[in-house]
Amino acid sequence: MSFEEMESSFGHTAPTTHHHDNSGGHGGGGGCSGECALNCVCQVVKAIKDIQEQAEEECEACTSNCFVEPLGDLGVRGRRHADTRVFTLTHKNGELFKAFFRGHHGKCMSVFFRVEEIFDNCCATLRVLVPLKKDGKTVADIFEPHGKCNFSELCEVRDWGRSNSCVTVDLHCFCAVQCIADVDLELCE
């Protein structure tokens, strides 16, 4: 589903955001105080799920947005057998959403996800992805001891591993979604 198809299916010309909280408060993670007339994060995550399910082999012009189809065209052009579109979510306060996965030598948090299921009014089950360094084996230490994101380490992430950890989220609580790459996590359908 392209962005244009998404817009027309809702009868809107463009997503609009109406912020009702100008207090600057971040209240517990900073995301749910504003409201969207058309929650674009929710719609993008739905589109990612649809693209993951289609996984066809076509050739289209390469762009770097979340609506690129088919699965396998984001990041490395023409990647075969991709089953996952890796993405991040950002809170209203600009911080990346993070979740725990079963630890690897003290490293147990990630900002990278795969959508597993969308249900009700834009709730989603997300699989937490393990951030890996260039060698594809070493878990990247993307958080400093006090819990802040270590951006120099984050920028070194080149691969992702699957975890058995999932988190259920309300997609209305996020302001941005960024698609990173299409990868093959060898997940069973």
Per-residue pLDDT of 64-119, as tens digits, reads 677 777 787 676 555 568 899 999 999 999 999 999 998 766 688 999 999 999 99
At residue 61, the pLDDT reads 46
User: For residue 164, which of 128, 139, 188 has the smallest C-alpha distance?
Assistant: 128
- Would you call 41 exposed, middle or buried from its count of C-beta atoms within 10 A (0-12, 13-18, 19+)? buried
Specify if 189 maps to a domain: no
- Would you call 151 exposed, middle or buried from its count of C-beta atoms within 10 A (0-12, 13-18, 19+)? exposed
Percent of the chain whose predicted confidence (pLDDT) is above 70: 68
Specify if 132 maps to a domain: yes
Query: At 10, is the secondary structure helix, strand, or coil?
Result: helix
At residue 78, the pLDDT reads 52
Specify if 188 maps to a domain: no
Q: Is the pTM of this model over 0.75?
A: no
At residue 82, the pLDDT reads 87
Specify if 9 maps to a domain: yes
Domain count, the chain: 1
In the beta sheet, which residues pair with residue 114?
Answer: 127
Q: State pLDDT tens for residues 153-189.
A: 999 999 999 999 999 999 999 999 999 999 988 886 5
3-state helix, strand, coil in the chain (%, to 5): 15, 35, 50
Specify if 47 maps to a domain: yes
SS3 per-residue string spanning 137-169: CCECCCECCCCCECHHHHCCCCEEEEEEEEEEE
Specify if 163 maps to a domain: yes
Provide φ and ψ at 101, rounded to 5°: -130, 165
Specify if 11 maps to a domain: yes
Q: What is the mean pLDDT of residues 27-49?
A: 67
- Would you call 119 exposed, middle or buried from its count of C-beta atoms within 10 A (0-12, 13-18, 19+)? exposed
Per the structure, the complete domain to which residue 96 belongs is given by 3-19+31-183
Regarding beta strands 84-90 and 176-183, do their DSSP bridges make them parallel or antiparallel, or are they unpaired? antiparallel
Q: Residue 111: which residues within 8 A CB-CB, separation 6 or more? A: 88, 96, 97, 98, 131, 142, 149, 154
- Asked whether the predicted pLDDT for residue 125 surpasses 80, the reply is yes
Specify if 109 maps to a domain: yes
Euclidean distance between CA atoms 155 and 140, whole angstroms: 10
Q: State pLDDT tens for residues 178-187.
A: 999 999 888 8
